[in-house]
A and B are shown apart, each in its own frame.
Chain A
Amino acid sequence: MPINKVISSFDEAVADIQDGATIMVGGFGTVASCPTCLLEALARKGVKNLTTISNTTGFGSDVWKLLGYKFAEDMDILVRNGQIKKSIVAAPVSTIYQNTFEKLLRAGKVEVEMVPQGTLAERIRAARAGIGGFYVPVGVGTVVEQGKEKKVIDGRTYLLELPLKADFALVKAHKGDRWGNLVYRRTSRTFNATMAGAAKVTIAEVDELVELGELDPEVIITPSAYVDRVVERPKDLKVEDKPISQEAIDSHKRYQERGSA
């Protein structure tokens, strides 16, 4: 039987994600590197009490629509739907914009575990690679060291960090084939390639589904053994014409001035 990991709809791809699941969400924080359609499907499904693992907690579609993106939803869609119980994250809040996550955090409606970005990436990689733990010098002498084993190796102090395990990883790739081989585009590779294979089930949202053999074996970034499902983005996207919030417009202005979302 030919292997076929291709799923025809995003709703079907996330159908077995249950309440209380732990999910990794790929991307850096920019919407271009984010699995938008999978997140929308998860929002439609409405599962609750999710623990998420990601770099940011989203800025909201209004911000991205102002920058001209059609696929504009990021993690904020799960946050504002109240689907997240706890977020394990490197950058939960923005320096110039109060995102929905910050509002919920201040209201005590969501929990956060903040992890330095590189430690977050390595904890995810460790889960993918079957590593039981590792020592990093990052976080020594800071709040991050609380409750962690310290060890001096060659005169330098390190902290023990453990792998981050998850039920599902939702990643965004550029091209994929029916085996699940993936390639990415430029800086949209980021946490997507780090997370692919780190959860029990990896679901890849791709711009383009290609024939097996079409991807150059020398440049495939994610080997197919890491991937369980592949779903292609629609070519023609209907964009809802909703008014954009004043808050997002103000934030966009600050972004234009200061160059940071």
Chain B
Amino acid sequence: MEEKFKLDRQTMALRVAKEFQDGDYVNLGIGIPVLASNYVPAGREVVFESENGVLGFGEIHTAGQGDPDFVNAGGQPVSIIPGTCFFAHDESFSIIRGGHLDISVMGGLQVSEKGDLANWLVPERQIGTIGGAMDLAVGARRLIIVMNHTTKEGEPRIVKKCTYPLTAVECVDLVVTDIAVIEVTKKGMVLKEVAPGWTPEEVQKVTGARLIVAPDCHEIEL
């Protein structure tokens, strides 16, 4: 069978960035989420937070450039902008846990139909790293998870109940995958957008939870 079209990492980041509203305070996790900082829609001012103690930063520098004392959560040197503010770690997590961020974007391993998230431990590896994931999952007003729709082996990552150790319960609001955009609601998971060439039925086939197809379900908007 021919492999169907799927969104690449940059395109998934581009779709995530569409969620950023004017004036939003946003934390971006390591991996695909940090790429979204390059795609803030024109005309919207968004302030990025990084858990290592900064609010408001600009572009990621290319390798070998920048200031080693100014990095994002992935350790990449970033640039100072007008408005940049530094703070200690306890303050950083007061911002995160205290509900002062509009959006947190993280990678995921599994998301359940109730919005439970698992993203800190792959059971086969036995040892994982919690880092700031649990605080970010609980603290942000809106949690967006960006991940591939299935594992490399084709197993669904969107499941009825998570089998991996949880990061937080009932915390996910939106899932952006390489083939779909799904909203977690009180009624269940609502399929809102599908990748070009995919039907809602085809997306359902590779999804472990039951999807409610939105009346206006359409091709992913970029």
- A interface residues (Cβ-Cβ under 8 A, vs B): 28-33, 55, 68-69, 90-95, 102, 105-106, 114-119, 121-122, 124-125, 136-144, 174, 184-194, 221, 255-256, 258-261
Contacts and interface: CB of A to CB of B under 8 A. Distances in A.
Contacts of A118: 51, 92-93, 96-97, 132, 134-135, 139
Contacts of A221: 88
Contact of A187 (B54, B93, B138, B168): B54
B1 interface: no
Interface of B: 30-31, 34, 50-54, 60, 63-64, 67-71, 74-76, 80, 86-90, 92-93, 96-97, 116, 126-135, 138-139, 165-169
B51 to A, nearest CB: 6
Q: Which of B126, B132, B169 has the most CB atoms of chain A within a 10 A radius of its CB? A: B132
Contacts of A140: 138, 168-169
B69 A187 contact: yes
Given A116-B135, A117-B93, A144 B130 contact: yes
Q: Which of B70, B76, B90 has the most CB atoms of chain A within a 10 A radius of its CB? A: B90
A187 B52 contact: yes
Given A28-B52, A138-B97, A142-B167, A187 B90 contact: no
Contacts of B96: 118
B165 A32 contact: no
Contacts of B68: 30-32, 69
Contacts of B64: 68
Nearest to B135: A118
A223 to B, nearest CB: 13
A94 B75 CA distance: 12
A138 B134 contact: yes
A102 B88 CA distance: 27
24 contacts: A28-B53, A28-B89, A30-B52, A68-B64, A91-B130, A94-B129, A106-B126, A115-B130, A116-B135, A117-B132, A118-B92, A118-B135, A138-B168, A140-B168, A144-B130, A187-B86, A189-B86, A189-B88, A190-B92, A191-B88, A193-B88, A193-B89, A260-B30, A260-B75
Nearest to A116: B134
A194 B135 contact: no
A30 B75 contact: yes
B127 A102 contact: yes
Contacts of B133: 116
